[in-house]
Structure formats: structure tokens, C-alpha cells
Chains A and B, each alone.
Chain A
Amino acid sequence: MNGRSIVALRQVTKTYHMGESELHALRDIDLEINEGEYVAIMGPSGCGKSTLLNVLGCLDRPTRGAYLLGGRDVSTLSDDDLSDIRGSQLGFIFQSYNLIQQLNVLENIQVPLYYQGRGTAESRSVAHALAERVGLGQRIHHKPMELSGGQQQRVGIARALVNDPLLLLADEPTGNLDSASGVEILGLFDELRANGKTIIMVTHDPDIGHRADRIVRLRDGHIEEDVRNGRA
């Protein structure tokens, strides 16, 4: 499992200024993630998991340090360029699904392609295939409100895959789900991993963590532990 480097963080620091005091959400993080890896980021609340994920997701820029995504330094890119990278190379899966309420399933899945300026016909067929793949082929015209939590998260996963991203980023994707739906969603992640997708998932559930290839444990903004699971 030694593919090419997808993520390389070098001495990444993120500092928030709260009036007089400074808060170091991330301190000198060095992290290397290769193609096809399934990484779980764990740690207590407030340790910097979401901050790290936001930096990895190009939603936020590190205060210091370099971030190479797929070999390209993205820590100094402009806002527009970061938007392009998010739209073309990253897939986000959120805890609260974050679907757009006024759009139906098919349209929600297409949103990233829309901002890439991809044609309607092409993006429709891609989105349709993905809806089938996550088991929602019969629900493509439903609005998010008409779906269960598990179904909404499937739409979220389909949407994250629609641009065939370099990296999938998930922040507690099962946090809002009952255990049965959670297991189904985790099953989907296993499938994606088996297909060679690179996945980074924030979770604080140890059971979920053990499904991943590797667990990165954070504490107070630095990496406390980085272990590989011996998978059965």
C-alpha cells in the first residue's frame, strides 16, 4: 500500500487570535497520507480534528507550514484557486449531511459539477449512476426533507464522489445516525476503500476507528499517536 503521496503536511500550525490571547488549534503537524489509505482522525473534543480537516479540505489556510495536495503546494493559493481545488479534487461528507433543501437528490449530487461548469447532460448521467450505486435510484426526484437520515447521508456520499476526487474528507459521517444506518454508511466507506479511494475520516468512536487502515490521534493540536491497524 505504498502509492503516491496524496497529502503531505509540513510543520502546519493554525493559530486563532482571541483578543489578547492566542489559541494554537494545530501545532507543527507533520502528516503523510498516500493514495488508497483510509485514515481515521481521533481524539478528544477540542483537540483540533475539525481544524485539521478544514485545512486538509482547503476550506482554511494554515497559519504556518506547507500543505501539498497531490504534490501541489496549496497553502498559498488564492481563494478562487482553492474553490477550484475543492470542486475538482476533494469530496466532503458532513455529519449533518448538508444537502441543499430546495434541490432534489439528483440536483444535489450534481452541485460540484455545476461549479466546475460541466454540461447538464453529462453531469446528470454521472449523478444518476451514483444515485444507483448508493441505492437511491428510485428516489432521485425526492427532496432531502423527504428522506431518512441514512438516505440523506447516501446522497451526501454520492455528491462527494461525483467529481471523482483525489481525497474524501468525512467529519463524523455517522454522528447523527442510528446504529443500523451508521453500519450501512460505514459499509459504503469500506466499499470505497476497496475501490482504492483515499479517505480521511474524523470520528471519536473507537469501533469506527478500527475499520480504518490507520488511526491518527490528536491531543491539544499535535499528533499524539499515528498507528496502523493490522487488518484481518
Chain B
Amino acid sequence: MAGPRLQKLKSLFTLGKTRRAVALGFKTLWLHRMRSFLTMLGIVFGVCSVVAMLAVGEGAGFEAQEQIRRLGSQNIILRSIKPTDTERISTEQSRISEYGLRYDDVKRIQDTIPSVKVLAPGRIIRNHVWNATRRVDAEIIGVVPWYPEVRKLRVTEGRFFTPVEYEGYVNLCVIGMTVADHLFPFSSPLGRNVRIGTDYYKVVGVVEPEASSGGTNGSSGEGQAAGNSMANDYAPRVYIPLTAARNRFGETLIRQRQGSFEAERVELHEAIVQVDRLEDVEETALVIDSILSSQRRSKDYEMVVPLELLRQAERTKQIFNTVLGAIAAISLLVGGIGIMNIMLASVTERTREIGIRRALGAKKRDIIVQFLIETVILSGTGGLIGVIIGVVIPIAISHFAEMKTIVTPWAPMLAFSISGFVGIVFGIYPALRAANMDPVEALRHE
């Protein structure tokens, strides 16, 4: 019983027959190459935009997350900002504004919150750093010895300063890569001295650039709380012991601005709180906020919680992917409708051919297969071209715009299989219409 059935199935799917059907499909499409090409474009654009946009999105998301991760997901970053209400009285010729985090605050946080592991207070002074006649405008950061560990800074050369040196107010410094490149382009900076103001500091180490903690702050007196944008420029940095910074620069900084003198008194520009466990980060942040705000009248600090930023970045990426998915679906739908439209026209145009083939022994399914193969060739070739362009575009973007892009292997695969699927779905109806024609009517068709 099953014998002839099986034979039929075999004859339908024999390799030779399928191969010839595919060859015939290509031949037919080639006969109307302009039309085929234009029809394909819909799928090409759909697929290539999916692949390229996914790669750009993936790259941007990765970069944002990487930057946030470098801030330390277990960290809470506190920064002094100049409260907005002091700015309103700044019509006076000269005055001293006093604001920001204090050593008291740091101590209070340390003492009252048990989940806090490490606290790394820091001062930031903007100044020129000199090596003979070479000069860099840098952020001089007074920090504690465990700062690199908290901020995940990597010491690439030499070392960071020790607690002993810290306690001894020693004039040592560790410089960022950018500073090292500018001041010591031809030799190792280790053991050399740089000048900041009137003091000399011996270089003991070089660190890899860290993620900017976002928004220039405090000491510059300008553009405070410039937002949490993570893509900020990496200001060249020089790290010195906090003790030395306090000693050499004092707590009052004077700067001239538009003809008037302005003095600021800021004890600490930033403090980084490292929380014991990841789960406690958000709660600790709330506690810190309430401790700090109970101590002051105006809000002169800001708090950055990288973990929250990370979650936010993930949410943003999810939304982005959803929107992208919708766009992709719509563009592929449009491409599919384009294919169906052309195939319907083609079926009508080739009514006679269908009649001839039916008269010569073609079964309905032979006709279905023939037209389906054509649509799948159209959408598949379109998908393939789309994938190639979609992979090349991100590479070009990375190359020319210096933007990170990531082509995940599943994106082209997904886009390609969707295009094949679209070909079958939108090809079925025209193919069925072709197959269900009455052979006699079809043969009579002019």
C-alpha cells in the first residue's frame, strides 16, 4: 500500500528534479531581471536594516554598559555640586561659597551604615601639570591608597602609593596614560618629577584611563552637574595622596572669572562608597541620601548609582530592541507584500505557461513548487544580499565613525530565516492561485 505513495514522494523530492526546478526559477527570474531586482530590494533593505541596526544598538549598549561597569556596580558615587541657590547671589564682586561633601559626612556614613565596605574620598583640583616646558591641563585628584581597587583602575606601570606614604603627606603622584603620553613622550615617566603649581611630585606609577565619573565638577565652578552623561571626555588625570592635596592646595580655591574673583571652599569633591553586597546597593544609596540631606539645608551633592544606570541601560536596550523588532517586522512585511504583488502579476502574465505545463503532465503541486521556488529565490537572495550589506555597514561605521558595533551571529541568521519565511508565506497565495487554474482556461488565455 505504502509503496506507490512513497514512490510519489520520492519523485517529488528527488534531488535532480528539485535542482532543475531551482535552475528553472533562476532562469525565469533572470528573464525579468530588472523586475526581480526591484522586487528583491524590499527584502534587501528590510534585512540589512535589521542586521545593521542590531549591530549598532548592540555596540552602543555594550559600550554604555562597559562604561557603567567600570564605575563599579557595587559603588555609589557621591559628588559635590555647587547648589543652585548660591549662584543667585553671585552678583557681589567677590565672595566665598562653601559647599560640598565634608570629612564629617564620610565619617558619618562609615560609622552608621554597616553594609558599607570601603569609602574612598577624593579632592579634585584643576591645574596645569608640567614637565619642564611640556604642559597638560589636568584634574589633580587627591585620593586614598585604596582608590584604584574601588574604581577598578589598573596600574600599568610602577605602583600606586602606599598607606605609609599617604600618612606621610609625601609628594608622590600616579599619572593617567594620557598625561604620561603628553609629558613623557619618549621615556618612562617612572621616577621623574612633574610640577604642579610650585610643588614637584615624583611619578611612581601609571594607570589606565578610567571611566569619567560623569560631569565635570566642583573645582571648575562651571558646568556643575552637567548631567550623568557617560560619554564624557576623559579629562587627563593625576592622582596624589589626599593628605598631600589637602596640605598643598588647602580647602579654598580661588579663581578669576569674568573680572570678578570667586572663591570656593570645598572639603571633598567626591566620595566613593563601596557596598558589601550587590543586593544592598540600592537600599544603601537611600540611607546615604537621607543621612546626607539631614545634615544640610541645600542639596550640594549628587549621587550616582552605577547599578541603577546599568539597569536603566538594559531597559533602554530592551525598548530599543523592541522598536527595532517592530521596524524590522514592518519592513519585511512591506517587502513580502511587494513580492506577493509581483508574483501575482507574474502568475497572471504566465497563465498560458501554466496551462502548457499542466497539459504536459505537471500536477498542481509541481506548479506550486515552481512558483514557491521563485519567491523563495527572490526573498532568499534578497535576504543574503541584505545580510552582507547589513554586516558591512556596521564594520564601515566602526571604521569611519569610531563607534563600537557588534554583529552577533544570531542577528544575520534570524534576519535571513525571516526573509525565507516571508518568501514562503507571501508566495503561497500566488502559487495556489496558479495551481488552481483550470488547464483548459489557462491554455486559452492570450
Q: Chain A residues in contact with chain B, CB under 8 A?
A: 54, 57, 59-60, 79-80, 83-84, 86-88, 92, 94, 98-103, 111-112, 114-117, 119-120, 159, 163
Contact A102 B361 (CB under 8 A): no
Which of B14, B20, B31, B357 has the most chain A CB atoms closer than 10 A to its own CB? B357
Complex Cα–Cα for A213 and B20 (A): 41
Most-contacted residue by chain B among A83, A94, A100 (CB, 10 A): A83
| Contact indicator B360/A112 (Cβ below 8 Å) | yes
Q: B residues 1-58 with Cβ under 8 Å of A?
A: 11, 14, 16-17, 20, 24, 27-28, 31
Give every chain B residue within 8 A of A83 (Cβ-Cβ).
358, 361-364, 366
A120 is contacted by which of B20, B356, B357, B366 (Cβ under 8 Å)?
B20
CB distance from A195 to the nearest CB of B (A): 22
Q: Are A98 and B16 in contact (CB under 8 A)?
A: no
Residue positions of B touching A, CB distance < 8 A: 11, 14, 16-17, 20, 24, 27-28, 31, 352-353, 355-364, 366, 439-440, 443
Nearest 4 CB-CB pairings of A with B: A87-B361, A117-B11, A115-B361, A83-B363
A80 is contacted by which of B16, B27, B363 (Cβ under 8 Å)?
B363
* Chain B residues within 8 Å of A159, by CB: 360
**Bound: A101/B349 CA distance, A:** 12
* CB-based contact B360/A111 at 8 Å: yes
Please measure, in the bound complex, the distance between the C-alpha atom of A16 and the C-alpha atom of B262, giving whole angstroms: 104
Instruction: Give CA–CA (A94, B442) in the complex, Å.
Output: 13
The 5 sampled A-B contact pairs (Cβ below 8 Å) are A87-B362, A92-B360, A99-B356, A100-B353, A115-B363
For B20, list chain A residues within 8 Å (CB). 114, 120
- B28 touching A102 by the CB < 8 A rule? yes
Contact assessment for B28 and A92 in the assembled complex, using a CB-CB cutoff below 8 Å: no
- Per the bound structure, the CA–CA distance linking A47 and B21 in Å amounts to 40
Rounded to whole Å, the gap between the CB of A164 and the closest CB of chain B is 13
State the CA gap A100–B31 with chains docked (Å). Answer: 12
B443 near A119 with CB under 8 A, answer: no
Least Cβ distance of A76 to chain B in Å? 18
Contact present for A116 and B16 (CB under 8 Å): no
Q: Is B16's CB under 8 angstroms from A120's CB? A: yes
Residues of B within 8 A of A84 (CB): 361, 363
Q: Which residues of B contact A94 (CB under 8 A)?
A: 443
Name the A residues within 8 Å of B31 (CB-CB).
101-102
With A59-B439, A117-B14 in contact, do A79 and B356 touch (Cβ < 8 Å)? no
CB neighbours of A87 from chain B (8 A)? 360-362
- Name the residue on B nearest A89 (C-beta): B361
Q: A83-B358, A88-B361 are in contact. List 10 more A-B contacts (CB 8 A).
A: A59-B358, A60-B439, A86-B358, A86-B359, A99-B356, A100-B353, A102-B27, A115-B366, A116-B361, A117-B17
The answer to whether B16 and A119 touch across the interface, beta carbons within 8 angstroms, is yes
Shortest A48–chain B CB gap in Å is 13
- List the B side residues contacting A117 at CB < 8 Å: 11, 14, 17
Cβ contacts under 8 Å, A114 to chain B: 17, 20
The complex places the Cα of A93 from the Cα of B244 at a distance, in Å, of: 105
**Bound-state Cα–Cα, A86 to B357, Å:** 10
Q: CA separation between A54 and B361, bound complex, in Å?
A: 14
Are A92 and B14 in touch, CB under 8 angstroms? no
Chain B residue at minimal CB-CB distance from A53: B440
Complex CA–CA separation, A54 to B440 (angstroms):
7
In this complex, what residue of A is CB-closest to B29? Answer: A102
Question: Among B17, B31, B439, which residue has the most Cβ atoms of chain A within 10 A?
Answer: B439
- B27 contact set on A, CB distance < 8 A: 102-103
Q: Which residues of B contact A92 (CB under 8 A)?
A: 359-360
A115→B20 CA distance, assembly (Å):
11
Min CB distance A25 to B, Å, is 11
- In the complex, the answer to whether B357 meets A111 with C-beta atoms within 8 Å is yes
In the bound complex, residues from chain A placing their C-beta under 8 Å from that of B357 are 100, 111, 115
How far apart are the CA atoms of A37 and B366 in the complex, in Å? Answer: 33
The answer to whether A115 and B360 touch across the interface, beta carbons within 8 angstroms, is yes
A100 to B351, CA, bound (A): 12
Q: Separation in Å of the A169 CB from the closest CB of chain B?
A: 9
